[in-house]
Amino acid sequence: MTQGPAGQEPDALLHHLRTLTQQGAVVAAFQAAHEKFRQFHEDLLRLAPAAAVHDGNAFDELSEALDAYTVLFDEHHYAEDQYFFPALLSVEPGLAAVVERLVTQHEAVASRLTAVREQMHRDRTPGDTSERPQRLIAALTDLRDVVDAHLALEEAETIPALRTWTRWPL
């Protein structure tokens, strides 16, 4: 197991990635996370119309789903930024421009996610509800579209290299 900084616990995430790679399951793990994002988008867009007009149950479900989405986003992108991209660049330096674009897209997704959360909470305040569903759906659709473009690029450009790994490079 890999040790973390002096005095800290071993790095469990890096150990997990190494194990998945040795078992030939790392690609499946990344793709499973990507499928979770896609499923969240369907769920969020399904819940948005009722949540935007103060249906308490739908709003609570949407809020919980958005919280879970945020956790997945934070964990997945942390793993990519801290472990996957450096490992990828160590064996495929020619992908530097792609990795730079993916990192920039992570920032764009984070911005869209913040916008969705802000829109959801703005729409929770009293007032005219006629435009709320459209605004929330537009914010969620924008998030989905940005994430879908990111996932497509990532899958097309990095998965082929990742498929060749029998051990984690770093």
**In total, how many domains does the chain have?**
1
Per-residue pLDDT, 146? 95
Boundaries of domain holding 150: 31-77+92-163
Distances (CA, A) of 10 to 20, 60, 144, 147: 17, 37, 35, 32
Q: Tell whether 6 is covered by a domain.
A: no
Q: Tell whether 57 is covered by a domain.
A: yes
Confidence (pTM): 0.84
Q: Tell whether 3 is covered by a domain.
A: no
Question: What's the pLDDT tens digit per position in 100-148?
Answer: 999 999 999 999 999 898 888 776 666 656 677 788 889 999 999 999 9
Say how far apart CA 15 and CA 3 lie, in whole Å.
9
Of the candidates 10, 68, 17, 21, which has an alpha carbon nearest to the alpha carbon of residue 40?
Answer: 68
CATH of the domain at 105: 1.20.120.520
Length of the chain in residues, anyone?
170
Q: Tell whether 123 is covered by a domain.
A: yes
